[in-house]
Structure formats: C-alpha cells, structure tokens
Structure 1
Amino acid sequence: MEPKLLRSMLTGLASTSRLAAELFLKIQSDEESDDDSKSPDTYDTKLLLAFTEMLSTVERRFWAQETSTEWWDHIVMEVWDDEQWLQNFRMRKATFMGLCAELALNLRRKDTRLGAALPVEKQVAILIWKLATPDSYRSVGNQFGVGKSTIGIVLMQVCRAINLILLRRTVTLGNMQEIVDGFAQMGFPNCGGAIDGTHSPILAPPHLASES
C-alpha cells in the first residue's frame, strides 16, 4: 500500500474515533433532555443507524478508488480476435485460457469487504503484459484498471504459481552428460545448452578459453 494512502487512512480512522465519541455523547445528551419516554431499543437503533452511516461514508472515502477496466473486460476479452491476441500476448485466447485454468488453483482469491478479488485471467494477463513490454507499474496499472502496488503483488504471485505448477513440466534438462558430449562433438566443449535466438557475448579468459 502506498505511504500517502496509508497516512490518509490512519488520519481518517483517528478522526472517525473522535467523531464516534462525539456522536455517542450527542445522542446520549439528546435522549436525556427529551421528556418523552423512549425504550432502550429506540436509543440503540438511533445509535446504530448513525454509526453505520458514518462508517459507510469513511469506507467510501478511503477505499473506493474509481478505475477503468473497460479495456480489459470488454475490448480484450470480448472483442479481440486471435490475431490481436497473438500480436499483444503472443498466444491465442484459447491458449491463454488454458494457461489460466492450469494456474487457477493457486491464483484464485476470495472477495473481501474492501473489494472484489482480481480474476485469474486478469492476473495472468498483467504478468504477460509486464514481461513483454517496457511499461512501468503505473502504466500497466492504468491499462488494466488496478493500482500500482497491485501490479507488484500480482507479478510475484503469478510467477510463484508458474514456478510451482508449470516449471518442471515445461522445462527439462534431460541427460546433461549426453548434452555436454553432443555440444563437444560440434566444437563447443563444456557447453550444456543454448539460448534460442539470443546472442550472449561471453568474454573468455585468454588462458582458459575452453573452460568458459
């Protein structure tokens, strides 16, 4: 949570406590000065209604942040075809939904009184978008209609779920000795693999070039 928002919340809670005490004393004073006989239930009801109204106002003030999810909810999920999915997420929508289904057990969260939990699909999309683009947390947050701090949390949670569920099923090393021997036969000693499509310059020490 951002420090500025946290300070505002704490200030609001302190103000709420003072307001609650003043409200209680005011209602009690009104009851004592009223000559009409009223039951304890009437008093409790007035206090409860006033308190509920006050707390709901505070909750709206500090927790409800209007963000736009139009792009993700309606354009991406309902309008985009497979070509647009391939251009932006490097996979078709069916593949994306299959990935979400694999990760759902670890990513699905329950709604709270502070707001609805992010759908699994949006969490996975946030990760893919952030890893595929140089956009900042703030930019990705604006794109998907969530807060900047939420982006950081989502990235860690989804990466953790991928490592836990998918890593060992999709990335395997095989027999390392056979791989090393195969590269050695091609003139690349002490090599255990190659990164496809990536040129990685390596500065080898002059006296141990074959050991690098």
Structure 2
Amino acid sequence: MALSRRHQQGISLYIVLIIVLLSMLLALWASRTSLFNEMIIGNDADYQRAYEAAEAMIQDAELDIRGELPDGTACAPIAGKTDVCRVTTPVWFIDELPKFGDLQAILEAQPTGCISGICMKRTGNQDFWNDKTTLNAMLANGIGARYGQYTGAQTGSASNPILNNNNDNQGAWYWVEIMLYDTSPGGGLLAGKPKIDLNLKLPVVYRITAVARGLKPNTQVVLQSTFARQKLKN
C-alpha cells in the first residue's frame, strides 16, 4: 500500500507540471495574439489619419488655386505671414493666358520643375513618389506646399497631427501641375468630336498630388485629383 501511494504521488507531480506548462503556453499565445491585434489596429489607425491628412491637402490646394481663404472669401494678406496669398512667392496661379509663358520659364529653370507647390506637367514617370531620389527632391524645402502655407488655413490642437508637422521628411505636402487644356477637336476615343466643354476660366487644368506621411515610419498615403476652374457665368 505504501509503495502504491508513493507511485501515485509521482504521477501527480508530472500532471501538475504538464498543466503548468500548458497554462504558460496559453498565456504566451494570448499575449502574442493581443500584441498582434494591437499592431494591426495601430497601423490601420495611422493609415486612416494619413489618408485624412492627404484629403485635407487636396482641399487646401484647391483653395490655393482659386485664391481663396478657408472661409471662401477672396484671399487677403495676413500680417506676419508673407506666404499667404503668395505675396512673396516667385510663382502664383495665373489669371491670364499670356502670363503662362513667364510662369513656364520660371518652372522650367527649377531642377524639379516645381517651386512653391506649383509645377509644370511632369514628363517621364508620373508616380514620382515611388522613386526615393525623386521624392526626396520634391520634399525639399520650398518645393512642395504645406497645409495652410498659402491659404492661411489653420488646425486646432485636437486636429490631425500630421497637418501640423512641418519637420523635414515628416507631415504632408501638395504639388499642383499646370496643364494646358486643348479645346481643339480631338481624335482617338472622341472620334473627331469636340472635346468636352469644361467652361474654363482659362484653358488650363490642374493636377494635384498630395503626399501624407503617418506617425509610423512606413505609413504613406498618396492622393491625386484633377481640378478644373470653371467660369461661374458665361
């Protein structure tokens, strides 16, 4: 009887050890699963934040093109902010077609074809953000436009932190390519029919590219939009 009890006690020890080991494995699996879920949620939240920042940059660029303040009124200089309304910038959005030649000369003299957020239509690869060297050149100071830099738009303390980040290689930028719109009869898919009448103020359309970098190192969102400034009345 004594031998049987000692044998049973030995088996109980092994059972307890196995249960403890299984409990440790379950706890480790649960912690790793929780950490993985937290990473996924964090990455998704950072992407959404960057996407919203890129959308805000597109809207800010449209205000810049129209020459308006965020409240919709005509742009007027703001004391202490010489960039607002492009008071001191070397380029601005033209309001008369004969001025296009002067603007083109200034932009073509730039290594990137851009300055102060205004660019000529890109040649070659259009997705410059996929080329690290080209993107770094476009992110240089004075090449891209920051949020509110030319429109006076401001963000509150509780708003998107990406829009408030103006550190090197961080935050958000936009560039506006100025492209002449050919109103002559077209071919190809149009089969010789007149091109769409956009009722433009000038025969010019604008392609806006916005890049926003999230708070995490590998988060980046790129949005593009085509903007046509139309006449309100014929």
Superposed pair shares fold, TM > 0.5: no
TM-score (norm. length: structure 2):
0.24
More strand by share: 2
TM-score (norm. length: structure 1):
0.26
More helix by share: 1
